[in-house]
Structure 1
C-alpha cells in the first residue's frame, strides 16, 4: 500500500481473493470507481472499494446481470426489486425445465409408432408454454359484439393455465389443445351456435351473463359429482336462454331448447373442454363441464311436461 492509503489494482484483487482481470472488468464497467491514478498511470482504489468489490462478487454469485448489479449499487432501494425480478425469471426457467423433462418422459414412454406425431405436437409448443393461441381461439369463437367485460371474463375462465410441474399426460393434453386451437384459428371456423340457432335478434349479453350465473350455481354439484337434476342452476340456465330471445321459461320452451342445444353441439368445442380438463387436472369444473351438466339436467324434464 502507498502512503496515501489507496490500494493498487493488485492489492485490491489480492484482498478480495479475485484476479486483477476481474477488478479491471468491474472498473471498466463503472461498478468499481477508481480513486485516481499513480504517477505511472496505474489505477488506485480507496479502501472502501474492497467492501464494494465483495458486494459485487456476492451479487454476481446470484447470477445477477452486471446492469442489475449496478442498479443495486447506485440505488439503495433497488435490491428488493432486483431480487423479485430474478425470482420471476428463475421461476420461468424452472417451469421450462419441468415441461421439457415431462415432454422427454412422454416421448420416452410412448410407443415408437406414436413418437413422430407426439414430437410434432410438442415441438409446436414453447417452453414454458404460452396460452396465446388458446386466448386467440376464444376471441374468434365469441360473438364480436359481446361487451368487453364479458369477453375478457370468458377468455380468462376458458383458457387453462399450464401447471408449473406437469405430468407427461398434461404436457400431451396441452400440446393437443394448442394444436386444436391453432388449427381452428387457421381454418377460420367460428363456432357460434347461438347465432346459428337463435337468429340475429337474441341478446348476447343477457345470454352470457345468465350462463355465467348458472355455471356458478352448478359448480358445487359438479365438484361433488352429483347427477344432473332440475333445480336452481337449471332454472337460471333456461332463464338466460329465454331472456336472450325475449321468451318465457315454459315446459314447451324447455323441450325446444333441449333440441336446439343438441343441434348446436360442436365437436371442436367439446374436444377443447375435454383437453382443458386434462390440462388443469383440478377439482374446479370447466365452463364446458358445467354446460354439459346443465344440458343433461334439461333432458331430465318429464316427457309429460313437453306439451
Structure 2
C-alpha cells in the first residue's frame, strides 16, 4: 500500500473528522495529533490513529476541558482511563462551582428586583461584597479570632464545623440576604473578637480552662439540640447537667446549687452574638421547614433551663 492511500492529508483528515483544516492544524501544531509521515513536498500526512485521536480531542473539548488539560490526558496513553476519570471528576467540580455561582446570582438578582426601591442600593452593597460561589472564609476567620487562644486544633475544627453555616446550594433571595448580612457582620471593623466583648470564660487570669469547657459544651449542645427538634421547652435533665458540668470542670470545681446560681448570673452578664445566630437560622432554615438548632440557639435553650431551675430553687 502506498503512502498516498495509507495516509491522509490535513484536508482529508479534516473531512473525515467533520471539522476544519484550521482546527486540525491547531491541534497538530500543539503536538496533540500524531503525524504518520511527511509528503515529498513536506506536507503533513496522518494515519487512522490521528482520526481516533482527533475525535477524542473534540469530545474532551465538548466537555469544555482546556487544551492544556486535554494534552495531559492524551499524554497518559498507558493510563488513559484513569486520566479520563480524573479529568471528568475535576470538570464536574468546576461545573458544580459554576452552577452554584449562577444559582446564587439568580437569587441575588431576584432579591434586588423584588425589594423596595429605597432598599436596593443598600442590598446591592451587601450582596456585592459576597464572592461567588459564596465562601465561608470570613465567618471562619471571625470564629478563630473570637475563640480563646491555644485551643487544640482538632477542637477548633469541630467548633467551626458547628458554628460556621454552609450556604445552601439553591438559595432563596432571603437566604442570600441573610448570608450577605452575616458576611458584613463578621467582616466589620470591630467584631466581638476585638477584645471588648469576650465572655468571662475566654479571659486569662480567671482560672478557666477553655479547652475543657468547649469540649463539654459541644456535647451539651448536641443533647439540647435533640430536645429542641422534639419541640421540648427548656427543662432540667441530662442536657442541662452536661452544660453546667462543662463550666464546672473548666473551673476545677464541683457542680453545686451555689455554682449554678453564680453561673446563671455570669452567663446573663456575658456579651452575646445573638445577631450572628439569628442570621444563621435565617440562612439554614429551608423555605418550608423547621429551624435546625445551632450552638447559639442550643446555648439559649440551656441558659433558659438553668435560669428556670435557679429561680425555682432560690432560697
Match of 2:71?
Answer: 70
Q: By how many angstroms is 1:247 displaced?
A: 2.2
The reply on whether 1:272 has 2:276 as its aligned counterpart is yes
Question: Given the alignment, which residue of 76, 80, 88 partners 2:85?
Answer: 80
2:41, 2:241 → 1: CA distance? 91
Return the TM-score normalized by structure 2: 0.92
2:6, 2:270 → 1: CA distance? 85
The reply on whether 1:234 has 2:240 as its aligned counterpart is yes
Q: Unaligned stretches of 5+ in structure 2?
A: none
Per the alignment, in what secondary structure is the counterpart of residue 100 of structure 1? helix
**What number of residue pairs does the alignment pair up?**
305
Q: By how many angstroms is 1:305 displaced?
A: 2.1
Checking the alignment, whether the CA contact within 8 Å between 1:252 and 1:306 is kept in structure 2 is: no
The 5 Å alignment of 1:112-131 reads: 112-131=117-136
Classify 1:30/1:304 alpha carbon distance in 2 versus 1 (closer, same or farther; 3 Å): closer
The reply on whether 1:289 has 2:292 as its aligned counterpart is no
The reply on whether 1:262 has 2:268 as its aligned counterpart is yes
Q: By how many angstroms is 1:103 displaced?
A: 0.2
Q: Residues 273-305 of structure 1: CA distance to partner in whole angstroms, max 9, x if unpaired?
A: 111111111653111011000001111116352
Checking the alignment, whether the CA contact within 8 Å between 2:167 and 2:284 is kept in structure 1 is: yes
Checking the alignment, whether the CA contact within 8 Å between 1:136 and 1:185 is kept in structure 2 is: no
1:22, 1:84 → 2: CA distance? 26
Question: Given the alignment, which residue of 221, 237, 252 partners 2:258?
Answer: 252
Checking the alignment, whether the CA contact within 8 Å between 1:234 and 1:297 is kept in structure 2 is: yes
2:133, 2:170 → 1: CA distance? 11
2:214, 2:245 → 1: CA distance? 11
Classify 1:6/1:185 alpha carbon distance in 2 versus 1 (closer, same or farther; 3 Å): farther
The reply on whether 1:12 has 2:18 as its aligned counterpart is no
Match of 1:93?
Answer: 98
Classify 1:74/1:86 alpha carbon distance in 2 versus 1 (closer, same or farther; 3 Å): same
The 5 Å alignment of 1:205-224 reads: 205-224=211-230
Match of 1:32?
Answer: 33
1:264, 1:222 → 2: CA distance? 23
2:256, 2:41 → 1: CA distance? 100
Q: Unaligned stretches of 5+ in structure 1?
A: none
The reply on whether 1:134 has 2:135 as its aligned counterpart is no
1:159, 1:304 → 2: CA distance? 35
Q: Residues 5-32 of structure 1: CA distance to partner in whole angstroms, max 9, x if unpaired?
A: 1110011011111110000000011110
Q: Residues 122-155 of structure 1: CA distance to partner in whole angstroms, max 9, x if unpaired?
A: 0110010111110000000000122222111111
Q: Residues 64-121 of structure 1: CA distance to partner in whole angstroms, max 9, x if unpaired?
A: 1112222222221200000000000000000000000000000000001111110000
